[in-house]
Structure 1
Amino acid sequence: MPRFYCPVDMVSGAELELPAGAARHVQVLRLQPGDAITLFHGGLEAAGPRGEFEARITHMGRSSVRAEVGAHQAIEREAAWEVHLVAGITANERMDWLVEKAAELGAASITPLLAERSVLKLKGERADKKRAHWQAIAIAACEQCGRNRVPLVAQALDLSDWLAGPAGAAPAQRLLLSLRAGSVPLKTRLAEAGPAVFLSGPEGGLSPFEEEAALAQGFVPVGLGPRVLRAETAALAALALMA
């Protein structure tokens, strides 16, 4: 059954007009009045019960689509771990791919990191547009994979700014993907329950200075084995282990 992100409060039995994004998606799929769909609000912009709602299309117009909200299903498909990914921005379409797959693998949030070795540098309006683009990718990934909680894609930040902010001060297990000597296998840290922050760098990894700054804030260096993975592959491999 087609699933659509609908960031509004929903009540069983009510009829609502679908937001523009969901309406366009319904029209592209050529759905018709009477067709069954699934709606979820994702938790980003709306309150109300978690999970998803059955719904049925009642009206298809040129610029509007309406649906009747049906029964609420308290279904969650979240990962066993609450993992917040702080990932160095990778070049070209690789960051799009990382955001998409991180959402599928259950990341609770995604913070793009502006690291010393990042090829892509973002500021101002360009940074805002990229953030909106990545958030849309995360939403589409949740529609596809069945997640009812959309991970927030945060504003891109320097590591020092992130460490100094509220998210950087939140209590959680802190894991740093690193190739440095003494890094422990990630698998050995998975017995510890509770929320975790996973920090990974861009192409070439974090600089020694950045790694030292992270270690000073309680991050534990972890590794994924003897092979050197691409930046986006490494972050996703870690999430897969923690999903």
Structure 2
Amino acid sequence: MPLLRVADDDLHLWTLRPPPVDSAAARALATGELDRAERHRADAYVRPGDRVQYLAAHLALRRVLAPYTGVPARRLRFGREAAGRPVLLGVPRAPSFSLSHSHGLVLLGVARRPVGVDVQRVPPYATAELCRGALHPAEQEELAALPEPRLAEAFARLWTRKEAYLKGLGTGLARGLSADYLGESGRDGARRPAGWVVLDLAGGPDHAAAAALRTDSTPRVTTREVRPEDLTSTTHDTHTERGVGSA
């Protein structure tokens, strides 16, 4: 029986700071729980820090989902819905989930309804200025009205809301950045997509983060932490008994 339960109106968020590359925790990551495709993709990273972050993120995904499903982390199998959302294969009533990682921060969302999460490091001003022309017209107007020092942070918050929503839909960026309004002020009557709740999340001084859940009501949000030491081979026999991280 699953030891963690997520109700229809719940949104469970899990965060992780990956271990430093040269740390004992990084060397002890239980990478044997990952499948061949995950290990192959990790090996494709050029920078060691990116490789460790990918390994830690995907190991955390497995160890977080294990107590929701009652299936050991190494036995979980992943696929894609026709719409593009990732799914668990062979697990009756499996929860929905979404994973994102960027520059030292990992975010995972678990829910009963379609969910998307995104985390991004706040970009330089030049990047925000370059990319904003691809956004929804009302979003472009909102950003244009901001003073220059606030643009990069506001752009990052908007971008994570948009990516979280598109992940929830399952389309990703293939849908196009201008198709949906995910801004803050609703200029000229612009409204966020109906049937979805999109939330700004705390990302710390260097990151922006957001979650999107397909619901008409305000979800109950619970945030937990996954620690690097929860991802080592020594925790293999215990993580399904107590869950991962601290409540």
Relative contact order: is structure 1 or structure 2 higher (C-alpha 8 Å, sep ≥ 6)?
2
Measured against the shorter chain, the TM-score band is: under 0.3
Larger Rg computed on CA atoms: 1
TM-score after normalising by structure 2: 0.25
Q: Which has the higher helix share?
A: 2
TM-score after normalising by structure 1: 0.25
